Amino acid sequence: MPYSKRRWLLALVGLFMYLGDICTDTALVFRYFHEKRYVWSGLTALFIITGLTVNQIFSYAWFLEDMHKNVMDSKPKRRFLVLHIFGMGILLRYVRALMSCIQDLQAANLNFISAAEMDSSTVDAADLSMLKLFETFLESAPQLLLQLYIRQSHDEWSVLQYMSMVFSFFNLAWSLVDYQIWLRKSLPQSRELPSGLPTVVYLLYKLFTITSLILSYSLLLFLSIYSTVGFTSLWLLGTIWAHLLQTDFCNSGVLELLYRGVIGAILVFTFFNAKGQNTKREMTVYYFFWTAINFSTPLLMFFLKPELKTITFFWVVSGVIYGGSLLGLISLVSYYRFLHPKQCELDQVDGQEKEKTPLTKRTRAFIKP
């Protein structure tokens, strides 16, 4: 079965965290605007709008693709378009996922569920998990960085700010694990990620590495606002790398360019396999520079901002950066050395077709993220 009662409950949790993340960030937009902090209000709103817009584009394009391939009914085409125009694409997919879950459970109780229904449910779930991943790195991660910068540089804090950061953090954690699980469920040549220790270690690897890097970025912003130029350069490098790999994820050339831009945004915060091939060398290079950034940033702050030596918050953040970096590297090595599910066959590049598989190119894009 593609779903179970446990998956239904976890989908509800994912929906709750998504809504909590969007709602708390939206509330911050109005709060900053009311306090006449127009720059903060505008930046917070920009991240929300960027994540929503990109997700609506991909979500609706994938619905059209499924309709064209007769994977789903084409009658609600206009209704779907209206919902996506108003930014309801992910909510629509959550509703469809929960309804599909209920139908699957009912069919299972009658000992009847068709292969087509299983395939459709798996593809829908994989699409939703990938859209949530896009939303995480276009909205949640940048939002977390922005609120940390405001907290550090302006000593501004409120309960709403902390709620926003907490929801962003847990939304980030959930989307990473959910994506990894459903990706492996949807790929016929990949073994599923075992529950228990492998899932926990994978989550710790991602959380420790991403959190320590975001904290380092926040210190660099505190050191100089022109650090944003460096972040933009990192995004451009990631986008160019995805372009050089000649990813073949979308059926449209315009969507493919947008997709490569999203990959660039993800690479600003974490490593991501954009071609579904062996990337041991690329990952090693990535985490070499990641280590250099994390271990040099607190030292730069220590020597260039000596007044911070008396601030407890600086020492706490520095300790979290160093501790998180070390634990992240240990978790990374442990996962890929001992716990990573072995491939049943050679990695399949995303543009290649596999006979008699119901999966589209987008669900075969990544094999070992």
Over residues 262-305, the pLDDT tens digits come to: 999 999 999 988 766 677 888 999 999 999 999 999 999 989 88
State the average pLDDT over residues 100-117: 62
pLDDT greater than 90 at residue 127: no
Backbone angles phi, psi at 188, to 5 degrees: -65, -25
Residue 196 tokens read as 């228990």
Q: What is the mean pLDDT of the chain?
A: 82
- Give the 3-state secondary structure of residue 244: helix
d(CA 139, CA 168): 8
Q: Find out whether 331 and 204 touch, Cβ atoms under 8 Å.
A: yes
Lowest mean pLDDT among 119-133, 181-195, 270-284: 181-195
pLDDT confidence band for 334 (50 / 70 / 90): very high
Q: CA torsion, points 58, 60, 64, 67, in degrees to nearest 10? A: 120
What is the torsional sign of CA 66, 67, 71, 72?
Answer: positive
d(CA 275, CA 249): 9
Number of other CB atoms surrounding residue 80 within 10 Å? 20
The secondary structure of residue 363, as a DSSP letter, is G
pLDDT at residue 368, rounded to an integer: 40
pLDDT confidence band for 199 (50 / 70 / 90): confident
pLDDT at residue 31, rounded to an integer: 94
Q: Find out whether 295 and 328 touch, Cβ atoms under 8 Å.
A: no
State the average pLDDT over residues 104-116: 59
Q: What is the pLDDT of residues 66-106, one digit of tens each?
A: 887 765 666 678 888 999 999 999 999 998 888 877 776 66
Planar angle of CA 314, 332, 294, nearest 5 degrees: 25
Q: Find out whether 123 and 20 touch, Cβ atoms under 8 Å.
A: no
d(CA 186, CA 119): 9
